[in-house]
């Protein structure tokens, strides 16, 4: 028996399919994909992908989950640094298949939220609200003061960052980022 805390849940319909899947991110270090079995009146585990250690850890994905609206991919993210993207597809028997994880890691980054962006049938895009604290941690390790000699208390800006999954090349790129207000969380 496995006990875990479900942190995020998303529903997905794989492109061209007629079955709903429940995707669960948890502190177990696994991505679980379930479907509802009507005759048995219970959820059936379709796929289980292990990607990290169990427990609530800030660098192990599972805290955030985003699904492409067309059901082609899912992004799983940690609070800090790590993001993984899985391509969802169907085999000839219409069974769900999942790819190996594609990494979209960025050091010194805290994630506040992530979601899939509806771009039609273009390459899937995921949006995240992030803070890059690299310059802040560098200044804290150094003198920690501004040119005026006072401590630097300015917070790094929150960024709306877009990641694109290139289905042709099978990799994830950080496309662009824009500053947003500090009050934004989702």
Low-confidence winner among 35-44, 84-93, 98-107, 152-161 (lowest mean pLDDT): 152-161
Q: What is the pTM of this model?
A: 0.85
How many alpha carbons fall within 13 Å on the CB side of residue 110? 11
pLDDT score, position 119: 94
Sign of the Cα pseudo-torsion (144, 146, 149, 151, in order):
negative
Bridge partners, 31 (sequence order): 25, 49
Confidence of residue 160 (pLDDT cuts 50, 70, 90): very high
Q: Is the pLDDT of residue 59 over 60?
A: yes
Low-confidence winner among 44-48, 82-86, 144-148 (lowest mean pLDDT): 144-148
Residues 6+ apart with CB under 8 A from 29: 50, 51, 52, 53, 54, 55, 60, 62
pLDDT score, position 139: 58
Average pLDDT score, the chain: 86
Q: Which pairing describes strands 102-103 and 83-90: parallel, antiparallel, or unpaired?
A: antiparallel
pLDDT digits (tens, 9 = 90+) for 110-143: 999 999 999 999 999 999 999 988 876 555 555 4
pLDDT score, position 41: 93
Full set of structural domains in the chain with CATH: 6-180 (2.130.10.10)
Averaged pLDDT for residues 6-35:
87
Q: Is the pLDDT of residue 152 over 80?
A: no
Distance from C-alpha of 96 to C-alpha of 99, rounded to nearest angstrom: 10
Confidence of residue 28 (pLDDT cuts 50, 70, 90): confident
């Amino acid at each position: 028996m496995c006990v875990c805390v479900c942190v995020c849940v998303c529903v997905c319909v794989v492109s061209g399919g007629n079955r709903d899947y429940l995707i669960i991110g948890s502190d177990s270090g696994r991505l679980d994909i379930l479907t509802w079995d009507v005759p048995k009146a219970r959820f059936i585990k379709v796929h289980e992908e292990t990607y990290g250690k169990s427990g609530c850890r800030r660098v192990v994905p599972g805290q955030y989950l985003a699904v492409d609206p067309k059901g082609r991919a899912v992004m799983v993210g940690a609070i800090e640094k790590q993001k993984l993207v899985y391509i969802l597809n169907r085999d000839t028997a219409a069974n769900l298949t999942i790819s190996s994880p594609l990494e979209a890691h960025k050091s010194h980054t805290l994630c506040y939220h992530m979601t899939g962006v509806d771009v039609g049938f273009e390459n899937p895009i995921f949006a995240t609200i992030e803070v890059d604290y690299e310059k802040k941690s560098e200044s804290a390790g150094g003198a920690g003061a501004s040119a005026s000699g006072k401590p630097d208390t300015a917070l790094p800006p929150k960024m709306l960052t877009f990641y694109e999954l290139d289905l042709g090349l099978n990799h994830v790129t950080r496309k662009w980022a824009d500053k947003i207000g500090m009050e934004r969380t989702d």
